[in-house]
Amino acid sequence: MIPEHFINRELSWLAFNERVLEEAERESLPLLERVKFLAISATNLDEFFMVRVGGLQIMKDRGLRTKDAAGYTPSQQLELIRERSDAFVRRQYALLHEKLLPALEKQNIHRLRVSDVNAAQHAHLEAHFIEQVFPLLSPVAVEEGTVHQLPALQIILLCLVSDTAADNGNSRHVMIALPPSLSRRVPVPPLGGAPAGYLNLEDLAQMFLSHYFPNEHVVQTARFRICRNSDIAVDDESALDLATEMEEILEARATSSTIRLEIEEGASKELAKVIQSLAAVTAAQTVFIPGELDLRSYFAIASLPGYDSLQVEPWPITMPAEITPGKSIFDIIREDDLLLNHPYDSFEPVLQLVEEAALDKDVVAIKQILYRTARSSRIIAALIKAAEAGKHVTVLVELKARFDEARNLERAEDLLRAGAQIIYGVRGLKSHAKICLVLRREAGRLSRYIHFGTGNYNESTAKLYTDISYLTCRPDYGADASSFFNTVTGRSRFVHFQKISMAPFGLRERLLDMIQSETERAKQGDAAEMMLKMNALEDPQMIEALYEASRAGVKVLLNIRGICCLRPGLKGVSDKIRVVSIIDRYLEHARIYWFRQGGQPQVFIASADFMTRNLSKRVELLTPVEDPLARQRLEQILRTMFNDNSQARLLNAEGIYVPAKVERGGTPFRSQQFFSKESAKRAKSRTPSPDVLIPHKPADETRR
């Protein structure tokens, strides 16, 4: 490995978040859509520090100097991250203060400061505070020598309280955390001639701190927020009870070391030192924020009702043309394989498969892997109904799905109570595969219906993420699906499948074989090409294989949403490789791998990216798509995305993303918008004629 050939993973991730922020800066977007992207960028940055920086900090503290593929030690990476993230935060707040807040003001969305509130509004806010806020906040005295449990990702007020109006040496420090159960934005009515607006909760609390300290004075205050290390792994190799072990991990995460401390600018040096001591951080881990803390709260502003003109016009989510109302999903899949391009194609057929299976008297078993689900999940409701009806329901619930562990524990308990057989993942690996298997008795034999996907069984994110679903009842796929579940739930010895490939046993090798096959064709003078769409490319072995393909003359087109450690455009190394990243209304999440294969293309969908964790440390699936029309549609999806010149950015050899340009005389082309229109056309092409009347039927309980 040559370090100059690789881009650092962490810096590549930060570059992805910079592309997200660019959408917030894009003046052609509606105002509240820009506000939404600002909030997304803030959420992303929090998660980055919790997940990635925590591990690097531990390595540094242990004195480890192991270099990454790009040649950086943990200490060097932390320094580069600090510089890049500090610049990013300054950019966020410049956008907020110089562009977004003034634009919101013009639309009568007023963020009020304490100084903006008149006497009538002050009286109203005080009454609101006493009734709705005062009982919920709990001042905590700061005592020397005591370890205080600071809640992560919450705004905390540190107060210097004294018996006089100045610090006379008898003062004390008190903390007040603002719980997430309280709305961050407090409405302020138009009283006394002043306009309506909103006040931030921390401003409201500071206005009326005197209620907590009668006969005392609040001399100074400072606002801060901490981010804790969430890179804590469960030791499931030795865990006797994984559910209990996960509960302990969640508790440990709540008290783990602080990775990042944010202090709002304006705090005195004395209070800043006290805060750093409380958080147990160094100056290098402290960031002084030039404005209000926690920009995630702007999600609430972005979704304000009554401002349709400031939001994007919704794109329709259409029912696929193959779906006929009132017709069994089993009959539809038996007629032909079904390929869905979400969210343009509705996720409803996938839900219908599980919900219909739960009620169908001929269905005897349902087997499924759940990684992340919706809060009020129709999938879970259907599986519970199936188990209660006496069907054999086996669900592998991945308890190690980061940040969804607590919810998955609850879901598993609900399923257990209903009589389902629950497997808590696979020892030593995360189960990230997306598969559902339904076994149904038909004409005296057992038929298998399978859903393979690139995304989670989550009807909420299915409206926001682009993913692929493939539904089939092909016998060889069904046999593979059964063998797969036997492997992951029954500790059966791994056997090679007929069609699918599974990580960590063979998926990497299957992909490498496909890349090598194209490489050999190029060496022999044949036309060779591959188009690969994924979320992240980090695995050194896969990158080296792509470099070898490029050297041989293979045309390599990569569509990578986020992390890309491959450096394209290097002469003699990667000059045949083009890397495109698309950031648009929907989060690009599908994994599609296409190989030319001498004019007889092979195409796959997968749950796995080209990352070491996916290929070697997780249970993943790679599924070949053999239906000719489905395969043709996947190729069209890929080529469409590589033609995007509106939302696409191109990665250059310096590791910088530059916007794709419209060629002279050309037309702007936006791939996501194209897919939305195409899906609507496909659905319309099969719309029943007006003389066909379709009755509305009562919804069953799983749909309520």
Question: What backbone torsions phi and psi does residue 34 show, to the nearest 5 degrees?
Answer: -65, -40
What is the reported pLDDT for 402? 58
Return the active site residues: 432
Q: Which is more confident, 470 or 704?
A: 470
The whole-angstrom separation of Cα 521 and Cα 326 is 49
The whole-angstrom separation of Cα 462 and Cα 23 is 21
Cβ atoms within 10 Å of 84's Cβ, excluding its own? 16
What is the reported pLDDT for 245? 43
242 — pLDDT class (breaks 50, 70, 90): very low
SS3 content of the chain, % helix, strand, coil (to 5): 40, 20, 40
The whole-angstrom separation of Cα 538 and Cα 613 is 9
Q: Are 503 and 623 in contact (CB under 8 A)?
A: no
What is the reported pLDDT for 410? 80
Q: Are 668 and 645 in contact (CB under 8 A)?
A: yes
In angstroms, what CA-CA distances link 553 with 439, 601, 642? 46, 18, 19
Angle between helices 74-95 and 9-25 (to 10 degrees): 0
- Give yes or no for residue 232 having a pLDDT over 70: no
pLDDT > 70 fraction of the chain, expressed in percent and rounded:
91
List, for residues 539-548, the tens digit of each pLDDT value: 999 999 999 9
Place of tokens 């160094």: 282
Q: What is the average pLDDT value for the chain, to the nearest integer?
A: 90
What is the reported pLDDT for 689? 45
List, for residues 263-284, the tens digit of each pLDDT value: 999 999 999 999 999 999 999 9
What is the reported pLDDT for 57? 86
Burial class, 322, CB count within 10 angstroms (exposed 0-12 / middle 13-18 / buried 19+): buried
Task: Choose among 208, 228, 265: nearest CA to 51.
Answer: 228
Q: Are 190 and 196 in contact (CB under 8 A)?
A: yes
Q: Domain 114-281 belongs to what architecture?
A: 2-Layer Sandwich (3.30)
Q: Which is more confident, 284 or 168?
A: 284
Q: Which fold has domain 503-685?
A: Endonuclease; Chain A (3.30.870)
Tell me where in the chain the CATH 3.30.870.10 domain(s) lie: 329-499, 503-685
Q: Are 435 and 469 in contact (CB under 8 A)?
A: no
The whole-angstrom separation of Cα 97 and Cα 90 is 11
The whole-angstrom separation of Cα 330 and Cα 441 is 12
The whole-angstrom separation of Cα 647 and Cα 675 is 14
β-strands 172-177, 156-162 pairing: antiparallel
Looking at residues 164-190, what average pLDDT do you find?
Answer: 89
- Give yes or no for residue 698 having a pLDDT over 80: no
Which distant-in-sequence residues (6+ apart) come within 8 Å of 476 by Cβ? 498, 499
Quick one: DSSP state of residue 130? I
Burial class, 694, CB count within 10 angstroms (exposed 0-12 / middle 13-18 / buried 19+): exposed
Q: Is the dihedral of CA 334, 479, 436, 621 positive or negative?
A: negative
- Give yes or no for residue 220 having a pLDDT over 90: yes
List, for residues 328-354, the tens digit of each pLDDT value: 999 999 999 999 999 999 999 999 999
What number of helices (H) and strands (E) belong to the chain? Answer: 20, 27
In angstroms, what CA-CA distances link 596 with 139, 469, 542? 65, 22, 18
The pTM of the full predicted model, rounded to 2 decimals, is 0.91
The whole-angstrom separation of Cα 644 and Cα 585 is 14
Q: Which is more confident, 114 or 166?
A: 114
3-state SS, residue 652:
coil
Looking at residues 202-226, what average pLDDT do you find?
Answer: 94
Read off the tokens for 557: 């087109």
CATH number belonging to domain 1-107: 1.20.58.310
The whole-angstrom separation of Cα 499 and Cα 489 is 20
Tell me where in the chain the CATH 3.30.1840.10 domain(s) lie: 114-281
Strand pairing partners for 174? 141, 159
What is the reported pLDDT for 143? 87
Task: Choose among 687, 585, 568, 682: nearest CA to 636.
Answer: 682
| 697 residue type, one letter | K
β-strands 592-595, 602-606 pairing: antiparallel
List, for residues 391-400, the tens digit of each pLDDT value: 999 999 887 6
Tell me where in the chain the CATH 1.20.58.310 domain(s) lie: 1-107
425 — pLDDT class (breaks 50, 70, 90): confident
What is the reported pLDDT for 401? 53
Task: Choose among 490, 369, 384: nearest CA to 431.
Answer: 369
694 — pLDDT class (breaks 50, 70, 90): low
- Give yes or no for residue 409 having a pLDDT over 90: no
SS3 sequence of 4-64: HHECCHHHHHHHHHHHHHHHHHCCCCCHHHHHHHHHHHHHHHHHHHHHHHHHHHHHHHCCC
Top CATH class of 329-499 equals alpha beta
The whole-angstrom separation of Cα 459 and Cα 374 is 6
What is the reported pLDDT for 697? 52
Radius of gyration from C-alpha coordinates of the chain: 28
**First and final C-alpha spacing in the chain:** 55
Q: How far is CA 635 from the centre of its chain?
A: 25
Burial class, 471, CB count within 10 angstroms (exposed 0-12 / middle 13-18 / buried 19+): buried
